[in-house]
């Protein structure tokens, strides 16, 4: 890595973006952030864009060597109405199209575009298959979103720019995300598995996810999609019981019935009720070494 390289992060004020900024600054990178929120961050230059109106501050891409694309509406924030589904799609695809248009018109040559994607690429299913990057996208809502997302990234290769997409599992982190939400219930002894509890739960510690983004930036041999999930395959019941154990809280409640979650969340309940095993062999074969391979170790690191 050459110190002084400049990275533009979209969605840089979100959970992953904030952690990634810290790790990049430690390594000596210069950071720019594209955000719809113009409030300043310490040590970070914020540039405004408006995806709906198609506006981007062109200064954001000046002298930028890499783009890390994290922008996108939280898929678990609201019920999946037709309008919310469209918002989830537009926030990912239209934002990337806006970037592509700006880069295409610029004379500046990027080295790489690294984008987030999701393990949802393989669909909201529970089975014994272990999914690899060579598998096709599922035809359900999650699979369709991820496929279109990655296709919008791949178009940068037409400009002779290296592209990488990281298909992340559930991200364990402090300060937000699924772990923080479920920890609130566990603290009161209210941990309970969802549905059968047998659905798999692909996950990754925030440290490893950020390290993976940095490797994708620095490793010119990385191209295409990589699963960003820890090596350990766990199911929902194992996760909830392990979280209770780490917090020294009881784990005795019956599973939350699937029909209750469907009433509460509608179609979005599949995020809790379904899940498959996802392989991380490709990223490991690329030389990536996980710091957190064990779910219990990862949880303990974040709740202490």
Rounded Cα distance between 76 and 80, Å, is: 9
156: in domain: yes
Of the pLDDT bands very low, low, confident and very high (cuts 50, 70, 90), residue 2 is very low
253: in domain: no
Helix (H) or strand (E) holding 293: none
Structure tokens at 99: 């970037």
Structure tokens at 162: 């290296």
**Taken in order 235, 295, 292, 165, is the CA torsion positive or negative?**
positive
Structure tokens at 221: 């041999």
pLDDT for residue 3:
44
pLDDT tens column, 83-131: 999 999 999 999 999 999 999 988 878 999 999 999 999 999 999 999 9
161: in domain: yes
pLDDT tens column, 134-164: 999 999 999 999 999 999 999 999 999 999 9
294: in domain: yes
200: in domain: yes
What's the whole-number average pLDDT of the chain? 93
255: in domain: no
Rounded Cα distance between 253 and 175, Å, is: 26
pLDDT tens column, 252-272: 999 999 999 999 999 999 999
> What one-character-per-residue DSSP string does 83-147 give?
HHHHHHHHHHHHHHHHHHHHHHH-SPPPSEEEEEEEGGGG-S---S-EE-TTSPPPSSHHHHHHH
pLDDT for residue 40:
53
Q: What would you measure as the largest C-alpha separation in the chain, in angstroms? A: 62
Rounded Cα distance between 73 and 76, Å, is: 9
pLDDT of residue 1 exceeding 60: no
202: in domain: yes
Count the domains in the chain: 1
> In CATH, what number is assigned to the domain containing residue 49?
3.40.50.720
Of the pLDDT bands very low, low, confident and very high (cuts 50, 70, 90), residue 42 is low
260: in domain: no
pLDDT for residue 175:
82
State which residues form the domain around 27: 6-236+265-303
Say whether 151 sits in a helix, a strand or coil.
helix
**Taken in order 277, 127, 148, 47, is the CA torsion positive or negative?**
negative
């Amino acid at each position: 890595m050459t110190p002084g390289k400049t990275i533009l992060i979209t969605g840089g004020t979100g959970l992953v973006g904030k952690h990634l900024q810290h790790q990049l600054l430690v390594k000596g990178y210069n950071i720019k952030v594209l955000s719809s929120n113009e409030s300043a961050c310490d040590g970070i230059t914020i540039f405004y864009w408006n995806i709906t109106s198609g506006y981007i501050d062109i200064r954001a891409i000046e002298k930028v060597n890499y783009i890390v694309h994290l922008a996108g509406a939280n898929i678990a924030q609201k019920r999946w109405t037709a309008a919310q589904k469209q918002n989830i799609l537009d926030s990912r695809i239209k934002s990337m199209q806006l970037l592509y248009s700006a880069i295409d018109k610029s004379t500046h040559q990027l080295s790489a575009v690294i984008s987030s994607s999701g393990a949802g690429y393989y669909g909201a299913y529970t089975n014994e298959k272990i999914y690899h990057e060579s598998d096709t996208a599922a035809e359900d809502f999650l699979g369709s979103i991820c496929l279109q997302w990655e296709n919008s990234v791949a178009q940068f290769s037409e400009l002779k720019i290296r592209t990488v997409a990281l298909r992340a599992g559930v991200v364990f982190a402090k300060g937000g995300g699924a772990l923080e939400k479920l920890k609130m219930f566990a603290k009161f002894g209210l941990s309970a598995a969802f549905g059968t509890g047998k659905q798999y739960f692909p996950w990754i510690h925030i440290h490893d996810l950020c390290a993976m983004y940095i490797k994708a930036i620095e490793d010119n041999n990385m191209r295409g999609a990589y699963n960003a999930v820890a090596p350990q395959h766990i199911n929902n019941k194992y996760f909830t019981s392990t979280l209770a154990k780490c917090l020294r809280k009881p784990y005795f409640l019956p599973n939350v019935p699937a029909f209750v979650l469907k009433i509460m969340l509608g179609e979005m309940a599949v995020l809790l009720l379904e899940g498959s095993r996802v392989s991380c062999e490709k990223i490991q074969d690329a030389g990536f070494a996980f710091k957190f391979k064990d779910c219990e170790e990862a949880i303990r690191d974040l709740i202490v």
